[in-house]
């Protein structure tokens, strides 16, 4: 499971900086004679000529060995490397009958605000999921859109996950490096000095830590709130192995939004997620977060295109609403490498629009739904627009 952290800034120039977070270290993973390097789904922004205005979302991989006697040559433009926890299996590989459509094209990142955010993050030595994962929305989010609230995404607790979900390209290890004890304070100082309005903190899964990293999350939130009480904080978390005390620790740290992704429909959980994750466990985490503190806003996300049916998706949305989840994001699953789960379907923009309308009709306070929508997609905008809409409703009613 991948978890990430996101931060938003106003369209005014940032007043300063963020704290140092570890950069992703790239290494090869060897499995007997097989040695792969892989890059996740990307927009090849940095390789583009500056005049380019549009680029297709791609997936690429390379190998220094062979699979089934076939030499797998590096694809041109492959730039990221790292281990993948599994190998080719019954649900992996490319499906030649499923062609990537034109709507999965995105403008190359550009613009004054984008460069401002990029330069600031570089100066502060902050590690962002946006760049490391080469997110297709990086240009839109960093430019801030029409509301002027830019959003970036960073990871706490290191860059290596203890789980091996089959959709995710993040590095994995049973024994990742211990967390940096100074990370919470350093992160808070940097974000407070940068003039951030909205921050989304996220992390990899850390099953090697007794509380799953909840205390580390909580320390970071508390430090931010002490330095800048008005900052809005969203935490996109793991399931903490179902430890509800760990959930409470984070909920009572001062955060504003508790986010945890169920990722897919119930039937596909075992195929898509690590065996230590689970549908009911994720629902229990979200439910407990909601009940642990009055007014806590909860949020979840589901990937489409993994073979789910409409009825199964409706069931998942109903289950989320039954535990009063407020905010939902729906996006297209994009296969990072042939070793990851196969894309079964590219869902059309029209179908995503249908699911947005359907989600709002059954009670979600806000639904972000589109092919390139991700968990932290313009999180600050989503939060602010939702709150403004509800204030308008309240004043009208009175």
Task: Output the DSSP codes for 126-190.
Answer: --BHHHHTT-TTHHHHHHTGGGT-EEEEEEES-SEES---TT--SEE-SSPPPPPTTHHHHHHHH
CA of residue 361 relative to chain centroid, distance? 25
Q: What is the C-alpha to C-alpha distance for residues 306 and 40, in angstroms, rounded to an integer?
A: 17
Model pLDDT, residue 66: 33
**Could you tell me what percent of the chain has a pLDDT over 70?**
61
**Range with the lowest mean pLDDT among 21-35, 115-129, 342-356?**
21-35
Pairing of strands 105-107, 196-203: unpaired
Looking up tokens 């978390």 gives 237
Q: Work out the average pLDDT over 61-79.
A: 32
- What pLDDT band is residue 168 in, cutting at 50, 70 and 90? confident
pTM strictly above 0.75: no
- Quickly name the fold that domain 108-395 has: TIM Barrel (3.20.20)
The lowest-confidence range among 157-171, 266-280, 376-390 is 376-390
- Percentage of the chain surpassing pLDDT 90? 35
Least confident of 5-19, 57-71, 73-87: 57-71
Answer yes or no: is pLDDT of 350 > 80.
Answer: yes
- CA distances 124 to 22, 50, 133, 189, 308, Å, are 11, 25, 19, 11, 41
CB count within 10 Å of CB 29 equals 17
Give me the pLDDT at residue 205, please: 86
Q: Name the maximum alpha-carbon separation found in the chain.
A: 72
Quick: pLDDT tens for 112-144: 667 777 776 677 666 666 665 556 667 667 666
Mean of the pLDDT values across residues 351-366?
96
**Amino acid 283: pLDDT:** 98
pLDDT of residue 225: 93
In sequence order, the β-bridge partners of residue 199 are 7, 233
Taken as a whole, the chain contains a residue count of 398
What is the C-alpha to C-alpha distance for residues 258 and 321, in angstroms, rounded to an integer?
Answer: 15
Asked if residue 317 has pLDDT above 70, the reply is yes
Q: Which pLDDT score is estimated for 82?
A: 41
Summarised one tens digit per residue, pLDDT across range 186-238 is 888 878 877 667 788 888 889 889 999 999 999 999 999 999 998 888 999 99
d(CA 16, CA 13): 9
What does the DSSP assignment read for 328-372?
A: EEEEE---SSTTSBPP-----HHHHHHHHHHHHHTT-SEEEESTT
> Got the DSSP string for 189-203?
HHHHHHTEEEEEEEE
- Residue numbers belonging to the annotated binding site for [4Fe-4S] cluster: 130, 135, 141, 161, 165, 168, 376
Q: What is the pLDDT of residue 209?
A: 92
Mean pLDDT of the chain: 73
89 or 319, which is more confident? Answer: 319
| Contact status, residue 239 vs residue 9, Cβ threshold 8 Å | no
Radius of gyration of the chain (CA): 20
d(CA 260, CA 172): 20
Gap between the Cα atoms of 332 and 306, Å rounded: 9
Taking a C-beta distance cutoff of 8 angstroms, is the pair 173, 205 a contact? no
Residue boundaries of the structural domains of the chain: 108-395
217: helix, strand or coil: helix
Rounded to 5 degrees, φ, ψ at 172 are -130, 155
């Amino acid at each position: 499971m991948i978890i990430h952290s996101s931060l938003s800034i106003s369209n005014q120039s940032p007043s300063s900086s963020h704290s140092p977070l570890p950069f992703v270290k790239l290494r090869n993973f060897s499995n007997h004679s097989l040695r792969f390097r892989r890059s996740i789904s990307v927009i090849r922004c940095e390789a583009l000529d500056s005049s380019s205005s549009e680029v297709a979302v791609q997936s690429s991989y390379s190998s220094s060995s062979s699979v089934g006697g076939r030499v797998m040559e590096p694809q041109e433009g492959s730039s990221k490397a790292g281990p993948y926890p599994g190998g080719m299996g019954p649900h992996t590989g490319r499906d030649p009958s499923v062609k990537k459509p034109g709507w999965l094209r995105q403008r190359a990142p550009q613009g004054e605000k984008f460069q401002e955010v990029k330069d600031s993050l570089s100066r502060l030595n902050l590690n962002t999921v946006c760049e490391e994962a080469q997110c297709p929305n990086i240009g839109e989010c960093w430019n801030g859109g029409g509301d002027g609230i830019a959003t970036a995404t960073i990871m706490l607790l290191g860059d290596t996950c203890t789980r091996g979900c089959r959709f995710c390209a993040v590095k994995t290890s049973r024994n990742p490096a211990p967390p940096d004890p100074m990370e919470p304070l350093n992160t808070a100082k940097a974000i407070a000095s940068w003039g951030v309005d909205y921050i989304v903190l996220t992390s990899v899964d850390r099953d090697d830590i007794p509380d799953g990293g909840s205390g580390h999350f909580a320390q970071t939130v508390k430090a931010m709130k002490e330095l800048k009480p008005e900052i809005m904080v969203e935490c996109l978390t793991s399931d903490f192995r179902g430890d509800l005390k760990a959930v409470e620790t984070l909920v009572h740290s001062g955060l504003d939004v508790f986010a945890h992704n169920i990722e897919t429909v119930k039937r596909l959980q075992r195929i898509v997620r690590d065996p230590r994750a689970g549908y009911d466990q994720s629902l229990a985490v979200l439910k407990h977060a909601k009940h642990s503190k009055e007014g806590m806003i909860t949020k979840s996300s589901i990937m489409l295109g993994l073979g789910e049916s409409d009825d199964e998706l409706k069931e998942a949305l109903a289950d989320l609403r039954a535990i009063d989840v407020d905010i939902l994001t729906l996006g297209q699953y994009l296969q990072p490498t042939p070793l990851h789960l196969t894309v079964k379907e590219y869902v059309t923009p029209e179908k995503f629009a249908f699911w947005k309308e359907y989600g709002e009709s059954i009670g979600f306070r806000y639904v972000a739904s589109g092919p390139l929508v991700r968990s932290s997609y313009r999180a600050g905008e989503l939060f602010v627009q939702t709150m403004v809409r509800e204030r308008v409703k309240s004043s009208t009613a009175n």
